[in-house]
Amino acid sequence: MTAPTTTSQPTNTQTLWMMIVAIVLTVGSYLAWLGWSDDTSAKQVLGLIATLSVLVAIVTYRLADLGRATIATGVVSGTLTVTIWIDFASDLRGHEAVWAGPVAIFVGGSAEIGLATVTLLAWSLRRADWSPVVVMAVLTVVAYLGWLGWDQQRNPDGSGPYEAWQVVGLALTLATMTAIVSWRSADVTQPLASVAVITALLTLAFSIDAATDRTPDASMWPAGAILLYGGTASGLVVATVLARGLRQVVHRQH
């Protein structure tokens, strides 16, 4: 008689331990970067974002399992939401404490979107060839510096510093890069990796640029970064889908 198998038990145990470790590391990272300070700076926020992104990337790459990596991402985002809520609510009194909930949910949701990108990128890098992805990363930084990064002076009326033609030029450049990768790739792994790395690096470059800008509205950079992330990801996905569709039509005709 064949002995009963216990294959699923180690997997469940490993997943549980992964969730516990994710909770501990998230809380530890938050306390190390933000928990000790009453006045939060942009450098501290960026440091926390970078730390959590690296942790999620390492877990995703080592697991090579998108399902469990997604669970880890959700645990990190959920833990971050609860930690921020506890931290904010403990400093507020009365009706002001009610606002800690929506703020924590907004930050946690934004973290989930960003960490999901990191997860997809790390998973794609494990499956895809590194060379095109590295090229996309370098070209994204060069494109940002070439179109926007050099312009730091606002207009006399307070608008800017970027003009419409600069933003359009950058968008077309990144869309063209993504379309080329999608056209040349045999499957969707490299296009997905390209979308993830371009979106992440562009958002990071903007965040660093905006957070270090000495203007009255410099503190609003997180909202701008979230909008940029959503717009960039959506636009690049459209470019990828159109390029893949055109590729299939052309190859079918030949």
Q: In this prediction, what percent of the chain has a pLDDT beyond 90?
A: 25
Residue 50 lies in a domain: yes
Number of domains forming the structure of the chain: 2
Looking at 86, 111, 127, which one is the last position of a domain?
127
Q: How many CA atoms lie within 13 A of 154 on its CB side?
A: 12
Instruction: Give the tens place of pLDDT for each residue, 75-86.
Output: 999 999 999 888
State how far the Cα of 194 lies from the Cα of 140, in Å rounded to an integer: 10
- One domain, residues 135 and 243: yes
Of 127, 143, 172, the one marking the end of a domain is 127
- CA neighbor of 148 nearest in space, from 174, 125, 123, 183: 174
Q: Are residues 136 and 214 in the same domain?
A: yes
| Whether 167 contacts 235, CB under 8 Å | no
**Could you tell me which of 88, 108, 106, 107 has the C-alpha nearest to residue 98?**
88
Instruction: Tell me whether residue 3 is in a domain.
Output: no
102 pLDDT exceeds 80?
yes
Q: Which domain does 119 fall in, by range?
A: 10-127
Among 95, 111, 127, the domain-final residue is 127
Name the nearest CA neighbour of 191 among 136, 248, 115. Answer: 136
pLDDT digits (tens, 9 = 90+) for 44-100: 888 898 899 889 988 888 877 878 888 999 999 999 999 988 888 777 776 666 777
| Residue 180 confidence (pLDDT) | 92
| Pair (89, 141) in one structural domain | no
CA distance 221 to 234: 20
Q: Do residues 138 and 248 share a domain?
A: yes
Q: Across the chain, what does the average pLDDT equal?
A: 82
- 1 is a domain residue: no
Both 171 and 94 in a single domain?
A: no
Asked if 225 and 111 sit in the same domain, the reply is no
Q: Model confidence over 212-228: pLDDT tens digits?
A: 777 666 677 788 888 88
Q: Are 75 and 23 in contact (CB under 8 A)?
A: yes
pLDDT at 52: 93
- The reply to whether 56 and 84 lie within a common domain is yes
Nearest Cα neighbor of 181 from 170, 204, 197, 165 is 197
Residues 34 and 113 in one domain: yes
